[in-house]
């Protein structure tokens, strides 16, 4: 069994890895970057969910979008940005979510 200090160090390394950008080639968009979600991101997403929120998925994709350095560049609370994301083909958004879900593109 791992002691608390060792576990906390391992968790720090995992948190840093989640913030590293992953390059994804998207047809028509070129190279875009995504990064993993943290528990805090998920809390924010759950707080956003409500009966009147029809773009939860699009807001979630906005949460993973970032620049090449890993800084988030889409605002999941900006209605115009979320609406634009909501109009995108699901097949393109799947490329982004899959890259985060499996740790990035292979090969």
Predicted local confidence at residue 65, as pLDDT: 96
77 part of a folded domain = yes
In a domain, 92, yes or no: yes
On whether residue 21 sits in a domain, the answer given is: no
Q: Is 14 a member of any domain?
A: no
pLDDT tops 70 at residue 3: yes
Q: List the beta strands (DSSP E) in the chain.
A: 22-26, 30-34, 65-66
Any idea how long the chain is? 107
How many domains does one find in the chain? 1
Q: Is residue 76 part of a domain?
A: yes
Tokens describing residue 26: 């998207």
Place of tokens 């190279």: 31
Asked if residue 39 has pLDDT above 60, the reply is yes
By three-state DSSP, how is residue 20 classified?
Answer: coil
Residue 9: inside a domain, yes or no?
A: no
Sign of CA dihedral 27, 84, 20, 44: negative
Residue 107 lies in a domain: yes
Entry pTM: 0.76
Handedness of CA 75, 77, 81, 87 (dihedral sign): positive
* pLDDT tens digits, one per residue of 19-28: 789 999 999 9
Q: Tell me which residue range forms the domain holding 36.
A: 31-107
């Amino acid at each position: 069994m791992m002691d608390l200090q060792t576990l906390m160090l391992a968790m720090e390394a995992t948190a840093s890895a989640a913030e590293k950008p992953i390059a994804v080639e998207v047809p028509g968009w070129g190279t875009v970057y995504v990064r993993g979600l943290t528990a805090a991101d998920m809390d924010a997403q759950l707080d956003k969910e409500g009966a009147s929120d029809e773009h939860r998925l699009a807001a979630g994709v906005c949460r993973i979008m970032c620049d090449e350095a890993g800084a988030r560049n889409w605002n999941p609370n900006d209605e115009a940005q979320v609406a634009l994301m909501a109009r995108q083909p699901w097949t393109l958004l799947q490329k982004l979510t899959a890259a985060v879900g499996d740790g990035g593109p292979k090969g």
